[in-house]
């Protein structure tokens, strides 16, 4: 399974945009890019996923580099509730999610 | 729709015992996956069941096993418990479509003494 690299932690201020980067240089052509987040004391929660094109949903946007070797999760206006560990995951033919260490996002009021 | 439910939520066992954890997926979801989460190793994939068949397996010893019933409910069993098995065990379900989002339950916190 291809691996992803994320910063261990990031900090943001409330109501400001947040850009969470993820590198996946060994991604294959059929790997989907998923983002999940885990709030304290909860199970992970789906955020967004994509293959090649940028994606938007009510929670966030996913910007995928043209060569697909990196992607960025964009939270347009961070709230205190967005403080969580964010996981960038590749899912390929095996259809299993392989979680890395993720990025711990701190949102300051 | 009700979410993924896991029972029990908390469990304390001693070394050498065995334990069975239960997961009820969202209605209509046929795929159930299990994960182990520890502070040291993070979230690790255990196995996935689809239509009562194990479809994927992670790198865990044979002491970890599972099964899925015809109603898609799944159980996970750990035999001969070790201290290192103390973890949060998470179950996730999704529809049969590939690459669809997984819905996670709240987890079962297992403590092995």
The Cα A46–Cα A84 span in angstroms is: 12
**pLDDT higher than threshold 80 for residue B98:** no
Nearest to B91 by CA among B21, B19, B1, B20: B21
CB atoms within 10 A of CB A56: 13
> Is pLDDT above 80 for B99?
no
pLDDT tens digits for B72-94? Answer: 999 999 999 999 999 999 999 99
Structure-block tokens of residue B32: 């159930």
CB contacts, 8 Å: B102 with chain A: 36, 44, 46, 97
Residue B80's contacts (CB-CB under 8 Å, 6 or more residues apart) are: B16, B18, B63
Q: Which of A43, A98, A100 sits opposite B105 (nearest CB)?
A: A43
The predicted pLDDT at position A83 comes to 97
Whether pLDDT at B97 is above 70: no
Q: Rounded to whole angstroms, how far apart are CA atoms B102 and A28? A: 21
If 0-12 CB within 10 Å is exposed, 13-18 middle and 19+ buried, where does residue B18 land? exposed
Closest CA–CA distance from residue B24 to any residue of chain A (Å): 15
What parts of chain A have a pLDDT lower than 70? 1-2, 93-95
């Amino acid at each position: 399974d291809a691996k992803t690299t994320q910063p261990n932690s990031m900090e943001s201020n409330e109501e400001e945009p947040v850009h969470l980067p993820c590198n996946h240089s060994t991604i294959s052509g059929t790997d989907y890019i998923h983002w999940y987040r885990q709030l304290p004391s909860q199970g992970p929660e789906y955020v967004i996923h994509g293959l090649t094109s940028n994606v938007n949903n009510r929670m966030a946007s996913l910007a995928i580099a043209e060569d697909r070797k990196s992607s960025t999760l964009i939270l347009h206006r961070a709230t205190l509730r967005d403080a969580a560990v964010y996981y960038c995951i590749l899912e390929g033919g095996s259809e299993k999610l392989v979680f890395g260490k993720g990025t711990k996002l701190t949102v300051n009021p | 729709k009700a979410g993924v439910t896991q029972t029990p939520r908390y469990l304390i066992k001693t070394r050498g015992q065995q334990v069975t954890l239960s997961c009820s997926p969202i209605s209509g979801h046929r795929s159930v996956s299990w994960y182990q989460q520890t502070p040291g190793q993070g979230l690790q994939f255990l196995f996935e069941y689809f239509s009562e068949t194990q479809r994927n397996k992670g790198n865990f010893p044979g002491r970890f096993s599972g099964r899925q019933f015809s109603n898609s409910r799944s159980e996970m069993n750990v035999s001969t418990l070790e201290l290192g098995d103390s973890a949060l065990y998470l179950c996730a379900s999704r529809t049969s479509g590939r690459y669809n989002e997984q819905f996670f339950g709240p987890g079962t916190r297992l403590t092995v003494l």
